[in-house]
Amino acid sequence: NAGVTQTPKFRVLKTGQSMTLLCAQDMNHEYMYWYRQDPGMGLRLIHYSVGEGTTAKGEVPDGYNVSRLKKQNFLLGLESAAPSQTSVYFCASSPLRVEIYEQYFGPGTRLTVT
Amino acid sequence: SQQGEEDPQALSIQEGENATMNCSYKTSINNLQWYRQNSGRGLVHLILIRSNEREKHSGRLRVTLDTSKKSSSLLITASRAADTASYFCATDAGYNQGGKLIFGQGTELSVKP
């Protein structure tokens, strides 16, 4: 199993440009998450999904949109990139359980907005 | 807002020494988890401790949980250079919250050979 993969690994955007980050998981997990990680800030949840066709806002959703058209994929979109969105983005997934379970993380996408 | 606060922010020790990291949180939890992040990589789950547990072991890892003080500690015994990484605690956001976790800011551990 590849686990959680993210595409691309690195990207440089100019202010105002748009892009989509792709997250894919092959573990048949129900839940998927997008985080951003900034120095000294830990991980902050952007959006998450509890199943195919559903999405919800996390802690810092402004400026981002997401879609979960297929169970294995979770897309994060930036419609008009801003320098404040320079960050490392991580996708994670977890199985549906009665109890809250561990999350499996992808390797990250390093995004720079100039 | 960050649920967990970790202490210390950075820790430097010699190989063979023990490393202790602490995590405090604000609201009631169902479980607390610890993750490791090597430089430039994604997070990897280390251990989960439930709210009704006080101590848990996994290899060289020992985690304690004190729900009355809303705090947890992670002890790595006989550290190795390969343990150099950032360590994060994460608490759950509660049932029916989509499995969301709230992460602390992390402790950066450096183990010198």
Looking at residue B96, its pLDDT comes to 67
With an 8 Å Cβ cutoff, is B34 touching chain A?
A: no
Under the banding of pLDDT at 50, 70 and 90, the label for residue B1 is very low
Q: Which of B 36-55 lie inside 8 A of A, CB atoms? A: 40-45, 48, 50
Looking at residue B72, its pLDDT comes to 97
With a pLDDT cut of 70, the percent of chain A lying above it is 97
Looking at residue A19, its pLDDT comes to 96
Query: Which one-letter amino acid corresponds to residue B70?
Result: K
Question: Min CA distance, B19 vs chain A (Å)?
Answer: 20
Lowest mean pLDDT among A53-67, A90-104, B98-112: A90-104
Phi, psi at A84, each rounded to 5°: -70, -10
Under the banding of pLDDT at 50, 70 and 90, the label for residue B2 is very low
Question: Min CA distance, A90 vs chain B (Å)?
Answer: 7
Looking at residue B95, its pLDDT comes to 66
- Dig out the tokens for B66 from the structure: 């004190």
Lowest mean pLDDT among A6-20, A22-36, A39-53, B34-48: A39-53
Of B30, B41, B99, the CB nearest to A94: B99
pLDDT higher than threshold 80 for residue A101? no
- Render pLDDT for B49-102 as a digit per residue (tens, 0 to 9): 999 999 999 999 999 999 999 999 999 999 999 999 999 999 987 766 777 889
Looking at residue A53, its pLDDT comes to 94
Measured distance CA(B100)–CA(B34) in Å, rounded: 14
Under the banding of pLDDT at 50, 70 and 90, the label for residue B5 is confident
With a pLDDT cut of 90, the percent of chain A lying above it is 88
- Dig out the tokens for B112 from the structure: 């010198």
Question: Min CA distance, B47 vs chain A (Å)?
Answer: 9
- Dig out the tokens for A39 from the structure: 């120095």
Overall average pLDDT of the A53-81 stretch: 96
More confident residue, A19 or B5: A19
DSSP code string of B44-77: EEEEEEETT-SEEEETTEEEEEETTTTEEEEEE-
Kindly provide the b/e burial profile for residues A34-60, where b requires at least 16 CB atoms within 10 angstroms of the residue's own CB: bbbbeeeebbbbbbbbbeeeebeebeb
- Render pLDDT for B21-57 as a digit per residue (tens, 0 to 9): 999 999 888 899 999 999 989 999 999 999 999 999 9
Q: Chain A interface, mutation test: which of B103, B105, B107, B108, most A Cβ atoms within 10 Å? A: B103
